[in-house]
Amino acid sequence: MKRVLLATLLCVASASASAADDPGAIAKSVGEKFAAACGAANVDAVLALYRADARVVYPGAGETATNPGELRAMVKDTCVKGGPQFKLLGYRAVWADDAHTVVAALGDWSVVSTGPDGRSMSTPVRATEVLVKTKAGWRYVVDHASVGIPSDNPPPSGSPPPPPK
């Protein structure tokens, strides 16, 4: 019985270690936390995902933050009750260093909001992100989101983006 329990614990530990070593899983986990916190209009939870020295660009004119005050204002304007909902579609991510403490990620998102005609609309958003491992967990140090160009046939998650036209 002890051997079965030990084998089970080793399998669980092995699965956990492999997920921790997958940059895509790390980026997805942080992205899901962002989507949940922003959807709940929890500004402090969103801000907790960023390092204090993060550089952030959201879609829209003037939507740039280079310090915590600017980031708080941007997040307050973006993450509002009843506002747009962020849906994570997928990530392509790699380790940016040999120590596995920096993740470089490309994220595909859909932002669902109400259009001017009152109907629901979905806007594609592409994100270029750099995440750094800190004592408090993974944090964004760079987050640049831009409105994507809608495609008739979006690539499946994990595939490279199509070449420019």
Mind listing the pLDDT tens digit for each residue in 1-48?
555 444 444 444 444 445 578 999 999 999 999 999 999 999 999 999
- Give the Cα separation of 128 and 105 in Å (integer): 6
Percentage helix, strand, coil, to 5, in the chain? 30, 35, 30
Is residue 60 very low, low, confident or very high in pLDDT (cuts 50, 70, 90)?
A: confident
φ, ψ of residue 30 to 5 degrees: the values are -70, -40
Architecture field, domain 22-147: Roll (3.10)
Alpha carbon of residue 109 to chain centroid:
9
Alpha carbon of residue 86 to chain centroid:
10
Whole-prediction pTM: 0.78
